[in-house]
Each structure stands twice: as structure tokens, then as C-alpha cells.
């Protein structure tokens, strides 16, 4: 399974669960990104790279 396939699968199975969590205790900051949002952003980055001629 590729990373892209794993992201898509997790986005389908766990769309609202946390995929990434950033903690900055000294600043009392906690940021989270869901699997759905992570997959959407990864696809945008991949498509931007393809549009610029990047390939395997």
C-alpha cells in the first residue's frame, strides 16, 4: 500500500479522527488536523507538483 493509498483509506474510514497533532505546551497551543483534511491537502500538494512537471 502506498502512502497515498493509506491517506485515502484513512480519510474514508476515519474522516474526523486526528491524523496529526502539534503540541506547544509552553504556549498552551494544540493544533489538530483530521485524516480528511490531511488527505485533501496532500492531494493539493501532489497536484501542484504534477502541474509543475514533477514525476516519478
Question: How confident is the prediction along the chain (56 residues), in pLDDT tens digits per residue?
Answer: 999 999 999 999 999 999 999 999 899 999 999 999 999 999 999 999 999 999 87
4 within 8 A of 42, measured Cβ to Cβ: yes
In the three-class reduction of DSSP (H, G, I as helix; E, B as strand; rest coil), residue 18 is classed as: strand
What is the sign of the dihedral through the CA atoms of 48, 9, 16 and 24?
Answer: negative
pLDDT for the residue numbered 17: 98
Give the gyration radius of the chain's Cα atoms. 14
Predicted TM-score of the model (pTM): 0.83
In the three-class reduction of DSSP (H, G, I as helix; E, B as strand; rest coil), residue 26 is classed as: helix
The beta strands (E) that lie in 1-56 are given as 18-24, 29-34
Amino acid at each position: 500500500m502506498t502512502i497515498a493509498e493509506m491517506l485515502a483509506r484513512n480519510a474514508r474510514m476515519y474522516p474526523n479522527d486526528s491524523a496529526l497533532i502539534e503540541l506547544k505546551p509552553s504556549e498552551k497551543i494544540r493544533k489538530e488536523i483530521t485524516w480528511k483534511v490531511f488527505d485533501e491537502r496532500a492531494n493539493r500538494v501532489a497536484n501542484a507538483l504534477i502541474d509543475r512537471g514533477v514525476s516519478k
